[in-house]
């Protein structure tokens, strides 16, 4: 996979709505989400379209991974 270059302004803007104290995992997750969106936009612009079902499946997977990580951290 090719690295996606993010603009600092995108990252800073996405952090504005976070609480004053956050975990490093939350920050990394936010950056990875922005990266995923940028990758999907570039993919769509080059004609590679993803269906709604595929997106929903990927979001469910990401949510499950986040919940598993949270449970491991709580233990």
Report pLDDT for 73.
85
Report pLDDT for 2.
58
Domain tally for the chain?
Answer: 1
Other residues' Cβ atoms within 10 Å of the Cβ of residue 57: 12
Report pLDDT for 71.
87
Q: Please check whether residue 30 lies inside any domain of the structure.
A: yes
Q: Please check whether residue 36 lies inside any domain of the structure.
A: yes
Range of the domain at 66: 8-74
Q: Please check whether residue 3 lies inside any domain of the structure.
A: no
Q: Please check whether residue 60 lies inside any domain of the structure.
A: yes
Asked if 15 and 30 count as a contact pair (C-beta separation under 8 A), the reply is yes
pLDDT digit string (tens) for 10-68?
889 989 999 999 999 999 989 988 998 888 888 889 988 888 898 899 889 988 998 89
Report pLDDT for 50.
80
Asked if 51 and 71 count as a contact pair (C-beta separation under 8 A), the reply is no
| pTM listed for this prediction | 0.60
What is the C-alpha separation between 59 and 36, in angstroms, rounded?
11
What's the half-sphere exposure (Cβ side, CA atoms, 13 Å) at 46? 5
């Amino acid at each position: 996979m090719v690295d996606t270059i993010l603009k600092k302004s995108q990252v800073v803007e996405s952090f504005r709505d976070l609480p004053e104290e956050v975990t490093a995992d939350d920050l990394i997750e936010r950056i990875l989400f922005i990266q995923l969106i940028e990758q999907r936009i570039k993919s769509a612009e080059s004609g590679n379209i993803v269906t709604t079902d595929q997106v929903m499946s990927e979001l469910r997977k990401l949510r499950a991974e986040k919940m598993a990580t949270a449970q491991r951290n709580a233990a």
